[in-house]
Structure 1
């Protein structure tokens, strides 16, 4: 009697986990990226180019890291960084200044990989103040669903309702499903003649942006972008992967994300980092993939991001044509969970409550002083107050 043949292994579980990782990561935050790039002066074409460049950088970086390390290491664009851009002040040199700031941030990430002392300096910034700054920056964006729904309920409320139902029945897919509902609304708007998009803008393209630099860009964008990318993405990303038993090659990861960020910046992208929230989709037990094969899920996710780059311009063109503040509303819905985490993290430091609240308020105010945005001044106020209160207690 012939012996039974071993069951054939398929790649379907790995492909499925990679697809979920890419779909959730992309659809949950791409609207935040478009909103942030537009806020710092990007034209619709430049914003679409930035999104496409980020997809390429995330995809190629994830492929390289996962294959080389045989670990399910995934990269992502800096969603907190994109939210920071959304609350930034206009720059003297327009989007060119923003691109210069992106390049400077990328250089700082590379320097952190080469010089660990720089990373130690970042970690010395109190986490509560960094979280308070991030929460304050995100607050106006998270208010967009409320203001947009009040101003244009017919366009916005259906998407918000779908998001609420998604939270009830499909929590992981709540934002992607809301995005699908928004796309349906955009389709109706096209049929009614309310929304219009240039057909040429839908073709895949990367627009190279000449970088420039100004003091407001360095202090108001490059420095806060580096801090939130490191403190809110890279450091938590290492902790998330460690919780699944996968050590992260810190130096290699920073070098790859820094170089990838620099390449994406020249086409309008802001920053690449180690995935934190979406990392569990490829590395966790719920992926249904055996532990020793989960790196393949990350590799498939990287390949899918590269494929998504081809459609980024079309998706961005359609999304940017959305009527009634619909895109801003979707971006706000995507950030609500992150806002909640930032508020919780900031409020845990009971000894610095006053400094935390002041940091939050300054960041949320959106003020610009000497051309420098609120994120920088929020950190300054928070650090000064924290020092003053600690000195008083020690007196």
Structure 2
């Protein structure tokens, strides 16, 4: 099988780091959203099962189908929105809103409308957006040294040495050094781990106008603007321009539709974690980096099956270790994004504006800076191209 031949240790590590970063950065938000929806502990475990199965299936299936690193994720902005939007609604109606949002995503994807719109997006702006999204992760490597200087400093030094002598396995070596130091310092908190399987629980959807207007439509818009559009732009910025995006969105939406009654509130293309699987550290050959996304999919399936156990395992790592390995894994991608953004002198200023707005973290109408960075860049490009 070609995938097994193309697989490498660096790709498996990239997939693991992507899942590690995804879980540790936003799992708490998903748990909070589930609790705000009125789900009990068993139903929350079902949510994690459904999300893990959905992300795993789409990562593996789409990456193997198109031979590109397609990484999916839950919608973190969508989960944050749910914490306040679901107040007072019955859980069955909230599930019904998940179904409607997923159906809208599948419709938009398979119709091809989104791909026609994004086909006009300049590469320089997409690259500026990519660099802006990932900038804070690169900065986290150095800000984390304030709390854990010896841990993060040793990881950074080991990465520099590995890049000099064994660049393909630099992130693997860095992660290993970080875990070993954390273990010696007694900062790996594994004492609360217990093996527990998640059981899927079906909740029959009910549909109400209040839930559709107040939950489904905002969830669809926020997920599309803050997750799917940046995810597509990052795919393009890494050179995978021939991959049709319509089926990626369509199949993600359809998978979400099937799993929504079990608690899959919103599946989407990943942005930050996808970049980890698309960089040089995942595989030196861009044609083989899809195996990193496949590896991420396998880890997602494991997280779905073991739910809370895996979440506790990821939580056992020191926060500074997670921040450091995420930033280090993205160094090359940040550099490539900045280089591509300013390459064309005629688009340099709009790309810079896109980068700055995206990196600022500004948000409005529950839509994050990624979307507004792209809007600002397109506006600047349009104004500067108008003839005097």
Q: TM-score normalised to the size of structure 1?
A: 0.67
Q: Which residue of 1 aligns with 2:328?
A: 333
Matches within 5 A, 1:1-395: 15=4, 17-18=6-7, 20=9, 23-38=12-27, 42=31, 56-57=53-54, 59-61=56-58, 64=61, 73=67, 76-78=70-72, 91=80, 93-94=82-83, 110-189=106-185, 192=186, 195=189, 198-200=192-194, 203-205=196-198, 213=215, 221-233=223-235, 238-239=240-241, 253-260=248-255, 266-267=263-264, 270-272=267-269, 277=278, 306=301, 310=305, 314-323=309-318, 325-391=320-386, 394-395=387-388
SS of the equivalent of 2:128 reads helix
8 Å CA contact retained: 2:19, 2:296: no
Question: Take 2:337 and 2:98, find their aligned partners in 1: how far apart are those partners?
Answer: 23
Question: Take 2:48 and 2:224, find their aligned partners in 1: how far apart are those partners?
Answer: 19
The change in CA–CA distance for 1:346 and 1:300 in structure 2 (over 3 A counts) is: closer
Question: Take 1:165 and 1:300, find their aligned partners in 2: how far apart are those partners?
Answer: 26
Q: Deviations over 1:224-271 (max 9, x none)?
A: 3111122222785754xx7xxxxx677655533433355678447743
8 Å CA contact retained: 1:106, 1:259: yes
Q: How far off is 1:223 after superposition?
A: 0.6
Gaps of at least 5 residues in structure 1 are 1-10, 243-247, 288-293
Gaps of at least 5 residues in structure 2 are 36-43, 87-93, 206-210
Q: How far off is 1:366 after superposition?
A: 1.6
Q: Deviations over 1:272-292 (max 9, x none)?
A: 4798737996997889xxxxx
Question: Take 2:311 and 2:219, find their aligned partners in 1: how far apart are those partners?
Answer: 25
Q: How far off is 1:222 after superposition?
A: 3.2
Q: How far off is 1:14 after superposition?
A: 5.8
Q: How far off is 1:336 after superposition?
A: 2.0
SS of the equivalent of 1:213 reads helix
Mean CA deviation greater in 359-368 or 370-379:
370-379
The change in CA–CA distance for 1:319 and 1:307 in structure 2 (over 3 A counts) is: closer
8 Å CA contact retained: 1:58, 1:75: no
Q: How far off is 1:163 after superposition?
A: 2.4
Q: How far off is 1:153 after superposition?
A: 0.7
Q: How far off is 1:121 after superposition?
A: 0.4
In the alignment of these two chains, the number of paired residues is: 356
Q: Deviations over 1:106-135 (max 9, x none)?
A: 656533542223311022233322322232
The change in CA–CA distance for 1:286 and 1:332 in structure 2 (over 3 A counts) is: closer
The change in CA–CA distance for 1:331 and 1:14 in structure 2 (over 3 A counts) is: closer
8 Å CA contact retained: 2:124, 2:343: yes
Cα RMSD, aligned residues only: 4.9
8 Å CA contact retained: 2:24, 2:314: no
8 Å CA contact retained: 1:159, 1:178: yes
Q: TM-score normalised to the size of structure 2?
A: 0.68
